[in-house]
Every structure is written in C-alpha cells, then in structure tokens.
C-alpha cells in the first residue's frame, strides 16, 4: 500500500524528533529483552502482580450524574527492574469516572482507556470517550496516564518525544503490568464486567495488556495494528526520527554495536 497523502503532509509538519539521545543504555536494552520472555507469557506475567497490589485513592469529587476519583500506585515494572523506569514515570496516575447510580447493582461495567500518541493527562479521554460512555451505556471508565506523558513525563523531555529507543519498550512493559494492577483492583471493589481499549498506540498497548489477563475481558483496539515498526520506519513517524544520529551511535562503538546486534538477532531467532 503506498503512503497516504495525509501521512506525507503530517510528516512535513513535524518539528521535533524522537530518540534524540539514541538507543539507550545497552544494559537497559538487555534487561528489557530478557524480561520480555517473562512478560510475553501469560502464566509468568500474571504472577508478577499480586491480587492485593496496593493502590492509593487520593481524591474524590461528586457531580450531579457522576463521581470522579483519582488514584496512584507504583508501577510494578520498577519493582521487577529497578532503575529502568525514569523516576518521573515510576508513579502511575489514573482517574476513575463512575455513574452515581448503576442500572444494576450486580452489574458494574468498567473500561480501562489507554492513551494514543500525544494524549497527555486525562481531559481528552475523559470528555470525548468516558463521559459519553457513561451517559449512553452507564459504563464507568479508568483513564490511565501513560508513562513518559503528562504527570509522568521527565522534566527534560519535550512533548511526547521519547529520549531513547529503549523507552518505547519500557512504556509497554509499564502499561501491561499497570493494567493488571487496575484489573485486580476492579475485582476487589466489585466492578465488572471489565474491558480495555485505546486509540492507535493505546489500542496496541491495550492488546498487549489484555493477553495477560486469564479471565473474560472485553478488548476494543481502535486504529491499531499488531506492530508499530512500520509507523516508525516508513509511516507517519518516520521523518520524526534522527536516523543519522542512531546510525552514528550504532557504528561509533564496536562493543555497543556487537551487543545490540546480538540482542536483535536473538529476538529474531525466537520469532519476536
């Protein structure tokens, strides 16, 4: 399929770049790739997050038709891989929007909403998705702040532009485990049936998270695909990446190049 004219126009409008600091520390990439063996298996991944994982509710406000609750918890990825998650992203923040009255007290549906690229904070998903869902279908929503976004964005990061290639893998690992935390929390508090959704990148992350929940779960990925690689290499984001810098970094250090190429080759052999 040839590139769309809309993609071409969007690429020309981009003024900032992703991965300006390069690939990331080789040791972090190695740890992430090793951890992927665990997190990509439902049985081993599910055991990483206990059912009683602590979640703190920090704020509650009641409106005429709904109640808005805010909470946070430490991302489990930091507990399993200390030092990989930037300090600013280690605390997961979420909002919970609930109807003041359920249609059926034994039927309290909740959907987790994951962010698409550039969707910082909660306002957009709360007003354009969660509120209509509550009004039209009496379904509650959990809006999870993305790692590296909004409240979880490192101070020196510009907008949504991740510093390192490794950050995209850290983001995915965080969201997979954080969704398990929230699904467990929903069960403990009597909510259900449960679902998870997201737009674009959020839909891809929702698909990854849903595969590690062993119980019935509604999954609605919107405008997403099975991989984001084409988006970065040939698609809409391809011209937002400093390929020259990544190539220079790759070839400037023989040991770095050897370690990175071995990790990529190992993943290819395993079908990753």
Q: pLDDT per residue over 71-129, tens digit each?
A: 999 999 999 999 899 999 999 999 999 999 999 889 999 999 999 888 899 999 999 99
Check residue 1 and give its pLDDT: 46
Tokens standing for residue 44: 């081993």
Q: pLDDT per residue over 164-206, tens digit each?
A: 888 888 999 999 999 999 999 999 999 999 999 998 889 999 9
Q: pLDDT per residue over 128-148, tens digit each?
A: 999 999 999 999 999 999 999
Q: pLDDT per residue over 196-236, tens digit each?
A: 999 888 999 999 999 999 999 999 988 777 666 666 666 66
């Amino acid at each position: 399929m040839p590139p769309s004219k809309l993609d071409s126009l969007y690429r020309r409008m981009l003024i900032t770049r992703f991965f300006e600091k390069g690939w990331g520390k080789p040791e972090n990439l190695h740890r992430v790739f090793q951890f992927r063996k665990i997190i990509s298996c439902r049985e081993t991944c599910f055991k990483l997050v206990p059912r009683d994982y602590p979640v703190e509710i920090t704020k509650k406000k009641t409106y005429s038709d709904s109640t808005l609750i805010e909470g946070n918890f430490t991302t489990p990825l930091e507990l399993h891989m200390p030092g990989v998650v930037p300090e600013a992203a280690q605390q997961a923040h979420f909002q919970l929007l609930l109807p003041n009255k359920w249609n059926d007290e034994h039927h309290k549906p909740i959907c987790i909403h994951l962010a698409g690229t550039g969707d910082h904070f909660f306002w957009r998903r709360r007003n354009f998705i969660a509120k209509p869902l509550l009004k039209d279908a009496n379904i509650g929503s959990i809006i999870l702040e993305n790692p590296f976004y909004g409240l979880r964005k490192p101070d020196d990061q510009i907008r949504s532009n991740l510093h390192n290639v490794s950050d995209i893998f850290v983001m995915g690992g965080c969201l997979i485990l954080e969704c398990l935390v929230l699904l467990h929390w929903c069960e403990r508090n009597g909510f259900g049936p449960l679902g998870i959704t997201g737009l674009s990148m959020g839909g891809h992350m929702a698909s990854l998270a849903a595969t590690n929940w062993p119980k019935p779960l509604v999954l609605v990925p919107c405008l997403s695909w099975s991989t984001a690689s084409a988006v970065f290499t040939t698609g809409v984001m391809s011209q937002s990446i400093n390929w020259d810098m990544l190539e220079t970094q790759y070839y400037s250090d023989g040991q770095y190049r050897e370690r990175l190429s071995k990790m990529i080759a190992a993943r290819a052999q395993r079908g990753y």
